[in-house]
Amino acid sequence: MATVTNWIDHLSAKEVAGAVYPGAGSSETLLVIIGIVLWIGWHVLTNNSESEELSRLARKKRGANDHKSNITDW
Amino acid sequence: MTDQLGALTTIFTEFYYWITVVLMFLIHVGFCMYEVGASRYKHHQHTLMKNTMLIPLVTVTWFFFGWWIYWAFPTGPGLAPSIMNESAALITDESTFSAKWYLPNTEFMAVNLQDHISGVFWAAFLLFSWTAASIVSGAIIERITTFAFGILAIAIGSVFWTIDAAWGWHFDGWMLKLLGYHDAYASGVIHAIAGGFALGVLMVLGPRIGKFSSSGEPRNIGPRNPWLVTIGLFLIYTGFWGFYAACNIPIFDLGPEYGMEGVTFWTATNIYVTPTTLSGITMNFLMSLSGGLLAGYVIAKGDPFWTYSSGLAGVICASAGNDLYHPIQAMIIGMIGVVIAYKLHYWVERKFKIDDAVGAVAVHGYAGVVGLIICGFVLNGYPSSGYSVGAMWDGSTYASINPLGQFIGAIIMFLVLGLIPGYVLAKILNGMGKLRIPRDVEIAGLDYEMMESAKSDEKAVSSATR
């Protein structure tokens, strides 16, 4: 996975390759796909949990000042 | 980098933008404090998290496609040919400034020993994106779902503002060429578009429960914590310094860039590669801030909320031309913007029952639009781009700055890329039943369950014996 194993060899090359991260030149597209899946997945997960939370809270029919009894002293 | 002067210039530029990014982070800290201060106790934590989560959402989407849009869209596409390849298509060819290099899977979107600038430039623009999304966030507090806000934040932060930046900020942008559009510190490309987008969303979202009486009279739901609002706005001012610096290119030899043989002229430039100085824009920033504060204090009769916001509106209004204005021009323009924005805010609120919880549409949208229009008159005749004056490209391909071009530009920013997309997206989310939280939740408070749980914990801890 290491793109560079010897900095002296790397920097003294006739043309120094700029990309030095692990998997340079071979892993970028896969990383982007994984990143997009994680991003979309986050929306799906949080949307589901938010909908559930909002429905649960709406069913309780609390009044506008009910939260005041939940104010903590700490 | 093999020669020392070149290396110093590059590393200085890299460090310069890095500093601006750190400073601009304070804008977001300020927006978070401001929103929490403006929201009611029972909505505090959700309000904070909504604004916080735009950071990762806009960042990852800016990485995936936002930055690519900026480099791909300067021609429209189809509105004006590129000065690089003479094509009006998307710029995705092999040229130096092509979007091709900014796809998320290219080697320039990472640590690259041959490229010290792309990453910090990407980050500086990203912080502008956060600002655009955060402006919208404040207007819609206490009644929007986090899901809907996330989608809207991505839309304004990683799509619409970056299209407007490609059109009106990029050195190859069609608005510069055809309209002579000039907007050095983003009266339009950030503020007018974000204000317009917020207004579009508000038109669909509706007011907070209780904001208007049964007869339609607006009620004041003032800031819950004025001190947090105060510190928040001061932090936004502070971050705005970084924003101004980030809109400049810190060091540039314009002689060869403009094709002037034998001429060397090192200077800072604005984003259009026309000369300005960090020194001069610092004076203008402070004078427009002062103009805004002075006018705001008078028109709002000393109300701190509006006075602080007016300082911001003053800077926003003068920003379009603050690279060239005289400081007193900047001050007067700031004053004019504040008076118009303040009056319009209350007129729109009464007339159309729009509940903009923090005055974001006025401070950013109206002041930004006014600033663009004034800039067209005050800077009428100046070159809109550095590339219209030299032989590097093909001569006079850019219109000069002019009132009509700035007016059309203001409409594009506020209405075409701001209000209309915001309205349409909000309509879609509303149609899906995802835009607004249920009425009973709004009444109870978004934080009700969190507070209830904290109270239970407190009781358990206080009754514990070990």
- Categorize the per-residue pLDDT at A27 as very low, low, confident or very high, splitting at 50, 70 and 90: very high
* A43 to chain B: closest CA residue: B147
Average pLDDT over residues B220-240: 93
* Predicted confidence (pLDDT) at residue B323 exceeds the cutoff of 50: yes
**Domain range list for chain B:** 4-453
Average pLDDT over residues B387-409: 75
Cβ of B61 within 8 Å of Cβ of A39? The answer is: yes
What integer best gives the mean pLDDT of chain B?
Answer: 94
* A55 to chain B: closest CA residue: B438
Which stretches of B97-184 are assigned E, i.e. beta strand? Answer: none
- Paired tokens of B434: 């995802």
Give one word for A67, left, alpha or beta, with left for phi > 0 and alpha for psi -120 to 50: alpha
Give CA separation, B183 vs A1, B31, B186, in Å: 46, 23, 5
**B33 CB neighbour count, 10 Å cutoff:** 23
- Categorize the per-residue pLDDT at B84 as very low, low, confident or very high, splitting at 50, 70 and 90: confident
CA A46 to chain B, closest CA, distance in angstroms equals: 7
Cβ of B107 within 8 Å of Cβ of A28? The answer is: yes
Measured between beta carbons, which residues in chain B are less than 8 angstroms from residue A51? 147
Cβ of A62 within 8 Å of Cβ of B106? The answer is: no
Cβ of B147 within 8 Å of Cβ of A43? The answer is: yes
Average pLDDT over residues A5-34: 95
Average pLDDT over residues B365-384: 96
Cβ of B440 within 8 Å of Cβ of A66? The answer is: no
Measured between beta carbons, which residues in chain B are less than 8 angstroms from residue A34? none
Task: Say what the pLDDT of residue B86 is.
Answer: 86
Question: Rounded distance, CA A27 to CA A25, Å?
Answer: 6
Do residues B344 and B393 make contact, with C-beta atoms less than 8 angstroms apart? Answer: no
Percent of chain B surpassing pLDDT 70: 98
Which of A18, A43, A69 is the closest to B112 by Cβ? A18
Q: What is the ipTM of this complex?
A: 0.94
The alpha-carbon radius of gyration of chain A (Å, integer) is 26
Model confidence over B183-229: pLDDT tens digits?
A: 999 999 999 999 999 999 999 999 999 999 999 999 999 888 989 99
Instruction: Give pTM, 2 decimals.
Output: 0.96
Give one word for A4, left, alpha or beta, with left for phi > 0 and alpha for psi -120 to 50: beta
Strand partners, B268: B276
Closest CA to B71 of B156, B171, B181: B171
Do residues B176 and B379 make contact, with C-beta atoms less than 8 angstroms apart? Answer: no
Which of B41, B110, B439 is the closest to A19 by Cβ? B110
Q: Spell out the alpha helix ranges (H) of B300-380.
A: 304-319, 327-352, 360, 367-378
Please classify residue B274 by burial: count the beta carbons closer than 10 Å to its beta carbon, then call 0-12 exposed, 13-18 middle and 19+ buried. buried
CATH number of B4-453: 1.10.3430.10
Cβ of A62 within 8 Å of Cβ of B147? The answer is: no
